[in-house]
Amino acid sequence: MAAGKGTRLKSKRPKVLHEIGGRALLLHVITAAKHVVPADHIYCIVGHEADRVKAAVEATGIRFVLQAEQRGTGHALQMVKAFFTLSGAEIPKHLLVLSGDVPLIRPETIQAVCDLHLLEHAAMTILTAVPPDPTGYGRVLRAREDGPEVTAIVEQKSLRPEQLGTPEINSGIYCFETHKLFAKLDLLSTNNAHGEYYLTDVAAMLVEDGERVVAVKADSVDEVLGANTIAEMMHLDAAMRLAKTRQLMAQGVTIFRPETCVIDPEVHVGADSVIEPYVQLLGATTIGVESRIRSYSVVQNSTLGDGVLVRNGCVLDGAVVGDGVLLGPYAHLRPESRIGDGAHVGNFVETKKVTLGKGSKANHLNYLGDAVIGAGVNIGAGAITCNYDGVHKHQTIIGDGVFVGSDSTLVAPVTLEAGAYVAAGSCITEDVPAGALALGRSRQVTKPGWAAERRAAIAAKKNC
Ligand code: UD1
Ligand code: CA
């Protein structure tokens, strides 16, 4: 179920697309479900901003059912029934229902609900929990304290005074015998506090028919916590982030002040690497062994080798960095930056679509874009590639062992062949052959005594 708007979030983004642990809520749920059933057996009920939600999770290979108007969780399942009836698709014997906003659910727990459902020959099996504060959740009323049988689920707003103390909550995760569920859906009413069709009302209706409705408690409460407000989501996010740092630390990574780091689920870090406080490692990022990421660096979708030192405040996006590379402080590696083994990219250097060869150095205040740079090259302070003429991007090619003097501007397209020298302050517009020196600046003019004469002239003016 992922059709709801998420009114309580006060956000334009559909609730199920809000992210925790670097991933949309709904994607967490789908990922867990895919461990239990094949993707083409999973139907996602979409409604509010349906196209946006579909686009975000389409790649998972699941199917979709449209709930154009969102009139409650019972109505959502009515749409599923209509979908099966109209499409003539084979109706499965059992139906597992998950909530798109209960993101920490684990495949093992989903499986346990299914297993118990079959074992108990139940018409409906409800996953429950007993959290420290049950406020806001629907409560599960058991027939007996020590038995699995349930008599009803009562929503928070419908709790009678004597039911307020009921500690067991409904997780919004259920297994149904499909035809028994479908038989009740059309009998639901909107005669309740929200004026919605509650799926939860099906529990009491089945019990009334003498059907078996049972509850199973989740092993961990966190797993079934809902995400209805930004604060609740950030609570879940913190839990996931901490779990990720614990997993990396268990694999030999040192993380100082792990509570300050933001590390996405797919990130790999090799043993003996060190992550300093306030580091973000995002997306598909891989870091080798014995590397160190200093504070305030943000590394996204990048691959870093072994023994890399990323000094403070670097921003990497889509970069590939070899072994023993030194970056920063404050280096900005944009997509398709390929930094060779042992190379240095120093402070306030920006790279984009660049190959920097083995051991080459660009240490101070450079912009290197659309360039292929060989090994053992030295790019002097402030030198830049002029890769853009306002319409097109052009390439700069720099051979092995080239020395580019400080503050030079290399106007692309241009090639500096191996071993060439460019004098400091040059504007290079023509290719430089191997081993040559290129100077591209006006000759210096020096006027001896000029300053003294000028001061004397000013003083004379003041005196008269
Ligand atoms: C629901 C349960 C409540 C349970 C809680 C657990 C009902 C009536 N109540 O309440 O007992 O404790 O979940 O988290 O079911 N949705 C649709 N279409 C709709 C309405 C909702 O697809 O018309 C989806 C939402 O996108 C969401 C899920 O169903 O993913 C749950 O809806 P929500 O409105 O958050 O229900 P709760 O009030 O949390
Ligand atoms: Ca909810």
Region class of 376: left (phi > 0), else alpha (psi between -120 and 50), else beta: left
* Substitution site in 1, 66, 221 for ligand 1 pocket (most atoms within 8 Å of beta carbon): 1
In sequence order, what DSSP letters do the residues of 163-216 get, joined into one string?
A: GTT--PEEEEEEEEEHHHHHHHHTT----STT-S--TTHHHHHHHHTT--EEEE
Asked whether 149 and 143 are in contact (CB, 8 A), the reply is: yes
pLDDT averaged over the chain?
Answer: 96
Q: Which residue has a Cα nearest atom 1 of ligand 1?
A: 172
Task: Evaluate if residue 142 carries a pLDDT over 90.
Answer: yes
* Substitution site in 99, 173, 184 for ligand 1 pocket (most atoms within 8 Å of beta carbon): 99
Among all ligands shown, which has an atom nearest to the Cα of 227? 2
Confidence band of 349 (pLDDT split at 50, 70, 90): very high
| pLDDT given for residue 377 in this prediction | 98
What's the CA gap between 366 and 414, in Å, rounded?
17
* Substitution site in 101, 102, 168, 176 for ligand 1 pocket (most atoms within 8 Å of beta carbon): 101
- How far away, in angstroms, is 114 Cα from ligand 2 center? 21
| pLDDT given for residue 394 in this prediction | 97
Q: Is 27 in the pocket of ligand 1 (CB under 6 A)?
A: no
| pLDDT given for residue 329 in this prediction | 98
Residues 6 or more apart whose CB falls under 8 angstroms from that of 136 comprise 156, 226, 228
Ligand 1 atom, smallest distance to 102 CA: 14
Inter-CA distances, 144 with 80, 115, 151, 366, 463, Å: 33, 22, 9, 73, 109
Is the N-terminal amide bond of 329 cis, ω within 30° of 0? Answer: yes
Region class of 402: left (phi > 0), else alpha (psi between -120 and 50), else beta: beta
Q: Is 152 in the pocket of ligand 1 (CB under 6 A)?
A: no
As a whole number of Å, the CA-based R_g of the chain is: 32
Neighbours of 30 (CB within 10 A): 22
- Domains of the chain plus CATH, in order, are 7-219 (3.90.550.10), 254-438 (2.160.10.10)
Confidence band of 53 (pLDDT split at 50, 70, 90): very high
Task: Evaluate if residue 173 carries a pLDDT over 90.
Answer: yes
Confidence band of 37 (pLDDT split at 50, 70, 90): very high
Among all ligands shown, which has an atom nearest to the Cα of 152? 1
Q: Is 344 a catalytic residue?
A: no
Q: Which residue has a Cα nearest atom 21 of ligand 1?
A: 4
| pLDDT given for residue 141 in this prediction | 97
Q: Is 154 in the pocket of ligand 1 (CB under 6 A)?
A: no
Ligand 1 atom, smallest distance to 171 CA: 6
Q: Which residue has a Cα nearest atom 34 of ligand 1?
A: 4
Secondary structure (3-state) at 406: coil
- How far away, in angstroms, is 50 Cα from ligand 2 center? 18
Q: Which residue has a Cα nearest atom 5 of ligand 1?
A: 172
| pLDDT given for residue 432 in this prediction | 98
- How far away, in angstroms, is 160 Cα from ligand 2 center? 21
Task: Evaluate if residue 9 carries a pLDDT over 90.
Answer: no
pLDDT digits (tens, 9 = 90+) for 411-458: 999 999 999 999 999 999 999 999 999 999 999 999 999 999 999 999
Which range among 32-41, 94-103, 230-239, 322-331 shows the weakest confidence by mean pLDDT? 230-239
- How far away, in angstroms, is 228 Cα from ligand 2 center? 5
pLDDT digits (tens, 9 = 90+) for 57-89: 999 999 999 999 999 999 999 999 999 999 988
Cα 363 to the chain's mean position, in Å? 31
Annotated catalytic residue, options 94, 235, 268, 364: 364
Q: Is 128 in the pocket of ligand 1 (CB under 6 A)?
A: no
Task: Evaluate if residue 460 carries a pLDDT over 90.
Answer: yes
Q: Which two tokens stand for residue 264?
A: 């996405």
Q: Is 199 in the pocket of ligand 1 (CB under 6 A)?
A: yes
Asked whether 293 and 282 are in contact (CB, 8 A), the reply is: no
Ligand 1 atom, smallest distance to 4 CA: 26
Ligand 1 atom, smallest distance to 153 CA: 11
Residues 6 or more apart whose CB falls under 8 angstroms from that of 12 comprise none
Strand partners, 254: 274
Task: Evaluate if residue 228 carries a pLDDT over 90.
Answer: no
- pTM of the full predicted structure? 0.84
Q: Is 76 in the pocket of ligand 1 (CB under 6 A)?
A: yes
| pLDDT given for residue 239 in this prediction | 87
pLDDT digits (tens, 9 = 90+) for 282-326: 999 999 999 999 999 999 999 999 999 999 999 999 999 999 999
Q: Which two tokens stand for residue 222?
A: 């966190």
Q: Return the half-sphere exposure (C-beta side, CA atoms, 13 A cut-off) of residue 219.
A: 10
Confidence band of 8 (pLDDT split at 50, 70, 90): confident
Q: Is 102 in the pocket of ligand 1 (CB under 6 A)?
A: yes
What's the CA gap between 222 and 243, in Å, rounded?
12
What's the CA gap between 406 and 346, in Å, rounded?
14
